[in-house]
Structure 1
Amino acid sequence: MDLHGYTRGAEVIKVAGDSPKIEMTSGIHYAQIKHARGFRQLRMSVIREAEARNRPAILYFPGGGFTSADHDKYLQMRMALAQAGFVVAAAEYRTVPDVFPAQAEDAKAAIRFLRAHAETFGIDPSRIGVMGDSAGGYMAQLAATVTGAEYERGDYLDQPSDVQAAVTLYGISDLSDIGAGLPREAAASHASPAVTEALIVNGPAFGPSLGATVQDTPEKTRAASPIGHVGPHSPPFLILHGSADRLVSPEQSAKLYRALGSHGIAARYFLVEGAGHGDSPWYQPDIIARVTRFFCETLRRGD
């Protein structure tokens, strides 16, 4: 048979460029949490170039108001970072009713897992960054600032859990005053013992526990807040917040920026004009390009 006959009437497509082949691996269990009646598996997904070798990695934590952790969201950002040559992992974590330090333990466990499996995923273990939005920004900040053996739980304890760069988008740095600077009604909700940051710190009212507000337990609240862990060990930060955010006050990001500066940490803080909390501006090319550029500057040196 003349195979050339199949070309009759066909239009020819000329392919230009060398865009990488991107692959996703999902359903990865990076940690196992023991509960009274069983175990919970914490999941992760990884997006990377098919032939990635010795690449810097970025670990994304999703927002969800401390009540959910849908780790496969924010696909535009994660795909853009993968196309820029990063191995991009995304991890779920424990939320309400689990209390701090569960969140810090999960962040550290996810980083250790990536380092332990660096060869499998084509990661350079000396170049790992973190990022997150909203409550995920809180998680990224914890991952970048918290140190100490008390937060290292689970497997791969021979691996370090430090990171070399961090991005927080409309994230939470201080659980004691998330509502500072917000309209009165929005700010008032943060004074409740039932608001999610209070549940992260003090747990729900159940049995002998009456619950508490974040103001009732200042030492516990400080310990559970990234702002309480910022120090000279912290990595470079990119901080972005929307000027029109009515859920998490922009003061949260300004406070983190000042704290980092007081320790001489390289940090850049941008207020995104007109942006709210997780709305469409955060998915636009300008924001994605700025985040990508920051990680290229901090993690791709020498590439």
Structure 2
Amino acid sequence: MKMQWPLLAMMGGMAMTGPVQAQTVPAAAGGGAQTIRVPVMTGQVDTIGGVIYSQIKSQRAIRPLRMTVLVPRNDDLKPAIVYFPGGGFISADYEKYSEMRTALARAGFVVAAAEYRVVPDKFPALVQDGKAAVRYLREHAADYGIDPARIGVIGDSAGGYVAQMLGTTNGERAFDKGDFTDRSSDVQAAVTLYGISDLRSIGEGFSDAVQKVHQSPAVTEALLVNGPAFGTFAGASIVSNPEKALAASSIGHMKGKKPPFLIMHGTADTLVSPMQSRHLYDALKAGGNDAELILVDGAAHGDIYWYQTPIIDRVVTWFKATLGEPIKGAAKTKGRGSNL
């Protein structure tokens, strides 16, 4: 009995269910085999890993910070998006959330996923790293086909905190440290998923037991701002110095014009209070800024809801509307450009 192989049309690594024409190859070419005609409907996306975007220098060592860049293979002048991963301020696994990053790249964006420093490194290290990632992309815009005037950021949880801080500190040069400081670190759009806007009240509205945890000098937001107990320093809670904590929060940087924000949070989040997103939205709107708040019914913190098509499509559509579409064939003629 002859084996009949199933027909599968592969479009950029994804199985397509649309009609595919097939015919039997003549016996001289190998009897029983089939050919398929595949319509070209999507472009190719190149993955460039191990990119060192910043080098943190200390007295005895140099620590490289890395990113992975997804680049649509074409001559279009493309908007870019930097993704910052969540990790509770103690990890920055930058190659996760591939579903979101891939969807954005297939929509025509250059997408850079960047690691950043975490505890025991203290604030503002992670904000400095986020801004360094943006400056790196502007410096190397011609290499990746990026329009340096259109760069957005996205992050989830602690990565949402980083994305928020980059958006709300546009124009503040105090966080610009390291290489390419002649380039702007301003961003033109920011998306935050169940992010942190006020380090003083991450557990707002939760139980007394949760509130007690967030008052501990050992909780990660306290370590981020105050550092660990050492020598004669016994450690300090995040609320021990409210002004210091506010300065390390996006809610403390509300003066001046901000880029458009898309803010999303799950109603069932038990790790970061949904009020974090509500306060950010209210503060942005009070300042006359463009902001959209979406609550995802039943979604918890980083659970399976955030990997579903309606969530990903909503983010992709918002970035396309905010940053604009790629400009066909324009990357070839675009020079180094301005200091953006």
TM-score by length of 1: 0.96
Residue 275 of structure 1 aligns to which amino acid in structure 2?
A
1:184, distance to aligned residue in structure 2 (A): 2.6
The question of 1:298 aligning with 2:322 is answered: yes
Alignment counterpart, residue 305 of structure 2, candidates 256, 281, 286: 281
1:231, distance to aligned residue in structure 2 (A): 3.0
Aligned match of 1:246:
270
1:52, distance to aligned residue in structure 2 (A): 4.7
Determine the C-alpha separation between the residues in 2 that align with 1:73 and 1:143. 21
Determine the C-alpha separation between the residues in 2 that align with 1:153 and 1:16. 48
Determine the C-alpha separation between the residues in 2 that align with 1:163 and 1:194. 33
SS at match of 2:36: coil
Gaps of 5+ in 2: 1-25, 328-340
Mean Cα displacement is larger for which, 183-192 or 151-160? 183-192
Determine the C-alpha separation between the residues in 2 that align with 1:119 and 1:301. 17
Residue 115 of structure 2 aligns to which amino acid in structure 1?
E
The question of 1:39 aligning with 2:59 is answered: no
Alignment counterpart, residue 46 of structure 2, candidates 16, 23, 28: 23
Residue pair 1:179, 1:188 contacting (<8 A) in 2 also: no
Residue 293 of structure 2 aligns to which amino acid in structure 1?
Y
Alignment counterpart, residue 135 of structure 2, candidates 108, 112, 125: 112
The question of 1:150 aligning with 2:179 is answered: no
| Deviating 4+ runs (over 4 angstroms) | none
Aligned match of 1:197:
221
Aligned match of 1:89:
112
Alignment counterpart, residue 129 of structure 1, candidates 142, 152, 156: 152
Determine the C-alpha separation between the residues in 1 that align with 2:305 and 2:104. 18
Residue 41 of structure 2 aligns to which amino acid in structure 1?
D
Determine the C-alpha separation between the residues in 1 that align with 2:138 and 2:80. 10
Number of aligned pairs?
Answer: 301
Residue pair 2:79, 2:326 contacting (<8 A) in 1 also: no
Determine the C-alpha separation between the residues in 1 that align with 2:188 and 2:206. 32
Q: Report which of the two structures shows the higher radius of gyration computed on alpha carbons.
A: 2
Residue 289 of structure 1 aligns to which amino acid in structure 2?
D
Determine the C-alpha separation between the residues in 1 that align with 2:184 and 2:53. 15
Aligned match of 1:179:
203
The question of 1:161 aligning with 2:160 is answered: no
- Residues 117 and 302 of structure 1: CA distance in aligned 2, closer, same or farther (over 3 Å): closer
Aligned match of 2:14:
none
SS at match of 1:12: strand
1:230, distance to aligned residue in structure 2 (A): 2.3
Computed over aligned residues only, the root mean square deviation of the Cα atoms, in angstroms, reads 1.4
Gaps of 5+ in 1: none
Identity in percent: 55
SS at match of 2:135: helix
Determine the C-alpha separation between the residues in 2 that align with 1:207 and 1:110. 34
Alignment counterpart, residue 271 of structure 1, candidates 295, 304, 310: 295
1:71, distance to aligned residue in structure 2 (A): 0.5
Residue 84 of structure 2 aligns to which amino acid in structure 1?
F
Determine the C-alpha separation between the residues in 2 that align with 1:219 and 1:213. 13
Determine the C-alpha separation between the residues in 1 that align with 2:62 and 2:33. 57
Residue pair 1:178, 1:252 contacting (<8 A) in 2 also: yes
Determine the C-alpha separation between the residues in 2 that align with 1:137 and 1:18. 33
1:118, distance to aligned residue in structure 2 (A): 0.2
Determine the C-alpha separation between the residues in 1 that align with 2:232 and 2:36. 70
Residue pair 1:175, 1:221 contacting (<8 A) in 2 also: yes
Aligned match of 2:230:
206
Determine the C-alpha separation between the residues in 2 that align with 1:4 and 1:47. 43
Residue pair 1:59, 1:130 contacting (<8 A) in 2 also: yes
Residue pair 1:179, 1:190 contacting (<8 A) in 2 also: yes
Determine the C-alpha separation between the residues in 2 that align with 1:87 and 1:260. 27
Aligned match of 1:223:
247
1:95, distance to aligned residue in structure 2 (A): 0.4
1:302, distance to aligned residue in structure 2 (A): 8.0
SS at match of 1:176: helix
Aligned match of 2:84:
61
Residue 34 of structure 2 aligns to which amino acid in structure 1?
E
1:234, distance to aligned residue in structure 2 (A): 1.1
1:301, distance to aligned residue in structure 2 (A): 5.5
Determine the C-alpha separation between the residues in 1 that align with 2:254 and 2:40. 43
Residue pair 2:81, 2:151 contacting (<8 A) in 1 also: yes
